[in-house]
Structure 1
């Protein structure tokens, strides 16, 4: 897969991304580009996908990593009038997949003609939080009638439920692709573990930001960005996962199970229809 020249496109056009890229040692045959993409805007997603698809009709798309996420302290809406957490963490993922799927499948078909065993992969960066609430005394089931927060809003609960919705639709999409594009797209979900140093709390209260930056990284259950990144790299490149789809990989790079709810057929179909 990585013998040929590869173009890696990072979506996060800011100074932190540019600084991180400059610190990398990039082999001369490869290239990293930084592109603007705002998952809280359907217009931005469509513009990004259109630009990617029209720049070169023969540009392969081997790997799509869906890593961006947010959690909000207070209820907010996007320009598309959806609750921000659900749109950023869930709806936008599937819009982007919808827009790029034909190119992803085409890439696998081209590789199969060259007897390349690697089929294109779509990596969902999930979270163990989507299943931790099961059985908890304060557990609240996903309410599809309250996706806009009109019946009440809790930032952490909406984050958990956005990740549950992601896995519900992940499992349903995998069934569709297994039926209609078997061995042309591999869907893999991963949980990188709890990584306080990420920018997930960027819109939280100041005390949460301080807690995430200075206290929680010292917790025994906390993981570093490098450790979380290793799970993404494994899911993206490991030959052990070739021609497998619908897998859920835990923070130890082992095949695991998502939440029990995420495998329920009725919930999957209801959300797809929604």
Structure 2
């Protein structure tokens, strides 16, 4: 039986740096070749739908082309060879088919069109990977309005866009009581623990408003809301057989370059605060940091023993998609460093979780997008 997976983000063809979506695909290929028994092994052939705003060159999704010439794609040539020296085999071509669907997570019409295209091709969805995210340097608003006000970009992309996509795909979820289930994997972040304020539907407008704007803070807030949503999915879709997993892809050092202050309060060119933040330093999100921080994160930081590389992040996401799950009785599982751990305390506030689920449902129903230009 052919499995289906739909993922957001990962457009490696338009990015100068490695990203988690790209590394997830590499893990998918590596594990499909393995003949060793493993609880994380992909079972059976799979159709993978990569959903991004920018369309890929055809060769970037054709594994038969990629394996013939490493020059066609630098990332494919990084896949470890098999014992016989080959970087691919016919079995991969039979087991993995990559497809592209256009998707702009800031456009409700694009989101619905993406879901419609998928549903025209597939009747069931086995894995939904919510991987795309933005951390804007400046406060940007989309042309989508909610209650007459423009929706902030990080909130629209990271939270509401994914929520609308999930809602639009629900007819493909496996039905409650069936032998198979749909697994929804949300790429979260340990940064969701760093928000000290109460983040609720009543405070979100002020927290993401122009007066309080901070790009990475906005990213943390949206990751907290995403994690709330991950734990509310079963309640939001009671007729579906769902497994919900939120995964932190890695850890890194937080830098204090912009402030120029060390933890002891002295001036410094580069001060470093060690911490678990769930942010892989050499991915595209690093582009939203100051230039010196970008250089540090891109070329040096991932060598720290406690930092995650994009490759390690991709492996963690792969394990979240295809690894063993915890008890079906749990609302969701939060994975960090290959283990199920407790998320931030706020996530287990059932009333707050339900408030977010209710707000998200109302919000995606109330999104207003201007008509396309004539």
Q: Per the shorter chain, which TM-score range?
A: 0.7 to 0.9
Match of 1:28 in 2: 94
Match of 1:153 in 2: 213
Tell me if 1:181 matches 2:250.
no
Q: Deviations over 1:38-86 (max 9, x none)?
A: 2122222111011111235xx3211100011110111001121211111
Q: 1:75 to 1:17 in 2, by over 3 A?
A: farther
Q: 1:202 to 1:263 in 2, by over 3 A?
A: same
Find the aligned partners of 2:163 and 2:249 in 1 and give their Cα distance: 20
TM-score (norm 2): 0.62
Find the aligned partners of 1:17 and 1:197 in 2 and give their Cα distance: 26
Q: 1:121 to 1:17 in 2, by over 3 A?
A: farther
Q: 1:261 to 1:243 in 2, by over 3 A?
A: closer
Per mean C-alpha deviation after superposition, the further-off stretch among 247-256 and 89-98 is: 247-256
Tell me if 1:266 matches 2:326.
no
Q: 1:265 to 1:101 in 2, by over 3 A?
A: same
Aligned length: 257
Per mean C-alpha deviation after superposition, the further-off stretch among 23-32 and 160-169 is: 23-32
Q: Which runs of 5+ in 2 are unaligned?
A: 4-41, 67-75, 80-87, 145-149, 252-279, 360-374
Query: Given the alignment, which residue of 301, 305, 311 partners 1:226?
Result: 311
Structure with higher Rg: it is: 2
Per mean C-alpha deviation after superposition, the further-off stretch among 17-26 and 200-209 is: 17-26
CA contact (8 A) 1:67 1:124 kept: yes
Query: Given the alignment, which residue of 159, 163, 182 partners 1:120?
Result: 182
Query: Given the alignment, which residue of 75, 84, 97 partners 2:139?
Result: 75
CA contact (8 A) 1:127 1:163 kept: yes
CA contact (8 A) 1:119 1:242 kept: no
TM-score (norm 1): 0.82
CA contact (8 A) 2:208 2:218 kept: no
Q: Which runs of 5+ in 1 are unaligned?
A: 134-138
Q: Deviations over 1:26-48 (max 9, x none)?
A: 33243111222121222221110
Q: Deviations over 1:218-237 (max 9, x none)?
A: 23321112211222222211
Find the aligned partners of 1:92 and 1:198 in 2 and give their Cα distance: 21
CA contact (8 A) 2:174 2:180 kept: no
Find the aligned partners of 2:58 and 2:184 in 1 and give their Cα distance: 22
Matches within 5 A, 1:75-154: 75-80=139-144, 81-106=150-175, 112=178, 117-133=179-195, 139-142=196-199, 143-146=203-206, 148-154=208-214
Tell me if 1:216 matches 2:301.
yes
Per mean C-alpha deviation after superposition, the further-off stretch among 247-256 and 66-75 is: 247-256
Higher normalized strand content (fraction of residues)? 2
Q: 1:11 to 1:132 in 2, by over 3 A?
A: same
